[in-house]
């Protein structure tokens, strides 16, 4: 359960900041606009999380090592990237679920 604290807090802050900036920019944003922004950010976060996880796979790391002279692949680096990517994906999923819940009301 401790693993969910950071993504839940992050997605809550993002959702509230979205509402604040939509209020600031549009005056009185519609619920539909807020839902679309939450879904867009959730989708973008899922893509970023996937890219983070993919970036540390052995084949991608080997390509980066050859083309960009990066450090060679390590198991610990892959585990760390998977932890970070998991948090991104959980937070993004929570944003998408918040968008679905908000659109259902």
Here the tokens at position 83 are 């932890």
Average pLDDT over residues 2-23: 85
Distance CA 84, CA 34 (A): 26
Distance CA 16, CA 21 (A): 9
Distance CA 104, CA 102 (A): 5
Max Cα–Cα distance, the chain, nearest Å: 52
Residue-level pLDDT at 55: 85
- pLDDT tens, 29-88? 788 888 999 999 999 999 999 999 888 888 888 888 888 887 887 888 888 888 999 999
Residue-level pLDDT at 69: 81
Residue 1: band (very low, low, confident or very high) from pLDDT cuts 50, 70, 90: low
pTM over 0.85: no
Please state the domain extents for the chain.
2-104
How would DSSP label each residue in 51-98? Answer: HHHHHTSHHHHHHHHHHH-PPPP-HHHHHHHHHHHHHHHHHHHHHHHH
For residue 41, give Cα distances in angstroms to 8, 22, 35, 92, 94. Answer: 14, 14, 10, 7, 11
Residue-level pLDDT at 90: 92
Residue-level pLDDT at 101: 94
């Amino acid at each position: 359960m401790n693993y969910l604290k950071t993504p839940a807090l992050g997605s809550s802050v993002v959702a509230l900041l979205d509402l604040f900036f939509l209020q600031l920019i549009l005056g009185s944003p519609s619920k539909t606009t807020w839902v679309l922004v939450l879904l867009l950010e959730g989708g973008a976060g899922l893509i970023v999380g996937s890219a983070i996880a993919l970036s540390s796979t052995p084949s991608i790391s080997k390509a980066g090592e050859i083309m960009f002279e990066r450090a060679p692949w390590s198991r610990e680096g892959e585990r760390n990237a998977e932890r970070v990517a998991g948090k991104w994906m959980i937070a993004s999923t929570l944003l998408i679920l918040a968008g679905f819940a908000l659109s259902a009301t």
